[in-house]
């Protein structure tokens, strides 16, 4: 996948510039498990000058690479990189309009603690975009994937509503990747 694919996967889950959730023109999102920033870059493009992004990953080297790439491609983007392990409590964040978790949940056998923290970090009406492989059986590299239908069930269990499929893309690993939107 390339940048255009990342943007396409997220596009339908972000509010339009004139929607009520962006009435003041500013939106705050987090990219959890952001790595080198493929989806952080997509967020920066989609949110534009009105967006503020908290990019969180445990790999300091990946975050440094992400900062360099962000500076080259979107120098005016407001991105805060934070080194933190998602297996531990989330760092203090402002109330979030949205969260992206791309290729993150499949690393957690027990997803509940993280989902509870994400739900708490979201403002009422906040959006969670999950990008995952559309299978329920994994491998060494993707140990605990969740299909879209499994995500629908899990999201409802954690009080997330309106779960819908945003987009899919073919994947050479595990056939297909999907993006889904759920709302707090």
Q: How large is the average pLDDT for residues 30-42?
A: 97
Q: Is residue 87 in some structural domain?
A: yes
- Please give the Cα distance from 164 to 161 (Å, whole number): 9
Residue 26 has what pLDDT? 86
Q: Which residue has the tokens 């534009």?
A: 48
Q: Is residue 21 in some structural domain?
A: no
Taking CA atoms, 169 is separated from 10, 40, 76, 122, in Å, by: 12, 18, 29, 27
CA-based torsion, 12, 17, 22, 28: positive or negative:
positive
Categorize the per-residue pLDDT at 180 as very low, low, confident or very high, splitting at 50, 70 and 90.
very high
Could you tell me the residue range of the domain that residue 151 belongs to? 3-11+26-183
pLDDT digits (tens, 9 = 90+) for 83-125: 999 999 999 999 999 999 999 999 999 999 999 999 999 999 9
Residue 18 has what pLDDT? 47
Q: Is residue 103 in some structural domain?
A: yes
Q: How large is the average pLDDT for residues 146-159?
A: 96
Residue 1 has what pLDDT? 84
Residue 174 has what pLDDT? 84
Q: Is residue 18 in some structural domain?
A: no
Give the other-Cβ count within 10 Å of 101's Cβ: 22
Q: Which residue has the tokens 């027990």?
A: 110
151-155 contact pairs (CB < 8 A, 24+): 151/180, 151/182, 152/180, 154/111, 154/115, 155/128, 155/130, 155/180, 155/182
pLDDT of 25 higher than 70: no
Q: How large is the average pLDDT for residues 64-68?
A: 97
Q: Is residue 20 in some structural domain?
A: no
pLDDT of 50 higher than 90: no
Residue 24 has what pLDDT? 56
Q: Is residue 169 in some structural domain?
A: yes
Residue 172 has what pLDDT? 81
Q: In the chain, what percentage of residues exceed pLDDT 90?
A: 86
Q: Is residue 19 in some structural domain?
A: no
Sheet holding 51-57, edge to edge: 78-83, 51-57, 27-32, 96-102, 122-133, 175-183, 161-171
Quote the number of domains for the chain. Answer: 1
Q: Is residue 96 in some structural domain?
A: yes
For residue 68, give the CATH number of its domain.
3.40.50.150
Q: How large is the average pLDDT for residues 140-155?
A: 95
131-148 in b/e form (b: 16+ CB < 10 A) is: bbbbbeeeeeebeebbbb
Q: Are 86 and 58 in contact (CB under 8 A)?
A: yes
3-state secondary structure of 78: strand
């Amino acid at each position: 996948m390339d940048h255009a694919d990342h943007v396409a996967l997220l596009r339908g889950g972000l509010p339009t510039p004139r929607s009520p959730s962006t009435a003041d023109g500013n939106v705050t999102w987090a990219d959890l498990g952001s790595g080198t920033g493929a989806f952080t870059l997509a967020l920066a493009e989609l949110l534009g000058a009105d967006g503020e992004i908290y990019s969180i990953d445990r790999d300091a080297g990946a975050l440094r690479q992400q900062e360099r790439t962000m500076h080259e491609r979107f120098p005016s983007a407001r991105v805060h990189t934070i080194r933190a392990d998602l297996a531990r409590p989330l760092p203090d964040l402002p109330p979030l309009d949205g969260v992206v978790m791309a290729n993150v949940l499949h690393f957690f056998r027990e997803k509940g603690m993280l989902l509870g923290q994400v739900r708490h970090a979201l403002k009422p009406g906040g959006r969670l975009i999950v990008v995952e492989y559309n299978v329920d059986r994994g491998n060494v590299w993707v140990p605990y994937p969740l299909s879209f239908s499994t995500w629908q069930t899990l999201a409802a269990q954690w009080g997330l509503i309106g779960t819908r499929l945003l987009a899919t893309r073919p994947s050479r690993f595990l056939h297909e990747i999907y993006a889904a939107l759920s709302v707090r």
